[in-house]
Chains A and B, each alone.
Chain A
């Protein structure tokens, strides 16, 4: 027996407007919480193994502060923020430019990382299996780089949609959700920078 009328009385208007948070933002916050926990474990492993390598190159000998790449990545947080603000004001052109800037800066960051790894692997011979430093360094920085790649793919898709004229002011909230992910990736980099390049050396 099915009834299509509800047995709950409904009032035409509630006492106060019933407003709940946006699904995308809450969902992204949950994802960020889960991802932070993964990164935290890799960071804990890194810190635990500082100074415990039995052999091989030590961080102080081979690592240099990655200032240019950091500047790029952190700036890209600013550019994506401006992209979202522009979209909220219905300024599609401005949004597109800022988004392009974000993708470019992210790609430059990856390029710097690739160069650093090439140097470490080819010239110094440090790999993930060399010692505990190699293991924890490549896994932590690599995990972060993987997240950068995923974020860049998403940002590039957004850029392509912008260029194709498919993005409107009403999509601002969704773009903000994506930007939250990107801010998270940058936040993780701050932690990685401090732990690997400052504390660990």
Chain B
């Protein structure tokens, strides 16, 4: 390890190298308003829930491994799938992606911090409290083996199952309140990201020069404003129904169960785009660096992202094709859903074109991005199948849908996230993660993923509905469910290796330096890890790849933009 540090650095380093009392460290993290620390707290918190949610999934797969199994009771199973879905979407997916956004956006635009640092901290803590509240539900009511009062209404909590009469006690309320709180946190973070991006870019960074990740976080933030609020509204309505005798979704008083579905999916569909757009952002940053080429068609990528954002607001009822909306309603939503495949396809083609003619380096971050490309392609295609309403009448509510959305959530988003971890870990910690362990993680996880989720389409085609705690023998589902479970084990092992890699590399990884990947965006111009103030002097940029310009003065990007 190099020790020749100039005097200036020594001053900066003094505080870091002395052992500090643990209470000081805790206080620093609990009271921080630094976007980098808050980002890391979001990520750590999300990783904890990844493990818990994953554990819930493993229990589900064990119960379903053979027909008429008695591993868990139906009541426990119903709580497991509800908690698994709710946890993974709201307490894993959202925090981890906004955690990355929090960390990276100010760095990528040459800013010192977010626009509203205290709001940033508040948003994190209220989201964290929401997660704790949801999990506290396991401890109330019947106690842990009866799984307490954990909600058992499914992650989208259809009415009137959530009415007081069908869901007595407080389990549904844990669902409602914890999500309400985390929604406030998410809105706060989105507000921060939007404001920071609009108001705090460094000199010369016009909107057309922002890294694509930042663009995607902006579109994501816009979607949060427009889409999370309907969920908040619906949850307020549900709580009024349950406690003040309101009749929003009370079918006995003339209320409509379908109205809940509309409100939920007006949130729920954009929500999945909120989850996937940052993943697009990761890939758009990592893929070019390991192809040694600029992203192909930056303006089209921006336009496609914005288009996806807007169109995603109009497709929600493709989750409701079986509800009886009638031919006119069904046809409209078929059309909107098929249309969104066009900008999505454009992005895939642009990524392919970036690879074309490049020099592809198969390091672990890139391997995950390439897996993403393949898996997202498949996920998109099964999405097209689901968009054909009559086909949807067979496929919806079945394991085909579960396979499709896990293909997106795990095959695309989690896969891209893994790539992002390996790529930015050196920036955050100053050390590289182990390539060898990374490759073990990659192969075990990908094999497990395909074992589980490729096979999972088939029971759906053979008539297996979702959310069933067991199934009849003789329907052709038995062996398939067993294979699905085995794949889950592979994924678990791969994930554990990943966690071990992160912990171990923190102290034993190779020192990274400020730009280990020879990349081109502003965050690689700072030391690893960056100082609290990010940039000693506010940068000025003249193109989309400021570091490329520096490294290639004879062939600067600004000549081509």
Contact = CB atoms under 8 A, between A and B. Distances in A.
**Are A and B genuine complex partners?**
yes
Interface in A1-32: 1-11, 14, 18, 20-23, 26-27, 30-31
- Majority SS of interface residues in chain B? helix
A41 interface: yes
A37 B232 CA distance: 10
A6 B525 contact: yes
B246 A21 contact: no
Contacts of A38: 229-230, 232-233
Nearest to A17: B203
Contact of B198 (A6, A21, A36, A54): A21
Nearest to B228: A34
B217 to A, nearest CB: 13
B225 A5 contact: no
A30 B2 CA distance: 47
A23 B117 CA distance: 12
B199 A2 contact: no
A26 B195 contact: yes
Contacts of A143: 236
B561 interface: no
A33 interface: yes
B537 interface: yes
Interface residues of B, number: 65
Given A6-B536, A45-B237, A129-B245, A30 B191 contact: yes
B184 to A, nearest CB: 10
Contacts of A27: 115-116, 191-192, 195
A20 B201 contact: yes
Interface centre among B9, B244, B259, B540 (most CB of A within 10 A): B540
Interface stretch (B40-48, B83-91, B247-255): B247-255
Contact of B195 (A2, A23, A37): A23
B380 interface: no
Contacts of A5: 536-537
Interface of B: 2, 5, 8-9, 12-13, 110, 115-116, 187, 190-192, 194-195, 198-201, 203-204, 221-222, 224-230, 232-234, 236-237, 240, 244-248, 253-256, 259, 263, 266, 511, 513-514, 522, 525, 527, 531, 535-541, 546-547, 550
Interface of A: 1-11, 14, 18, 20-23, 26-27, 30-31, 33-38, 40-42, 45, 48-49, 52-54, 127-129, 131-132, 135-136, 139, 143
15 contacts: A1-B9, A2-B5, A2-B13, A4-B531, A8-B537, A8-B546, A14-B204, A26-B115, A26-B194, A33-B225, A37-B225, A37-B226, A38-B229, A48-B256, A128-B240
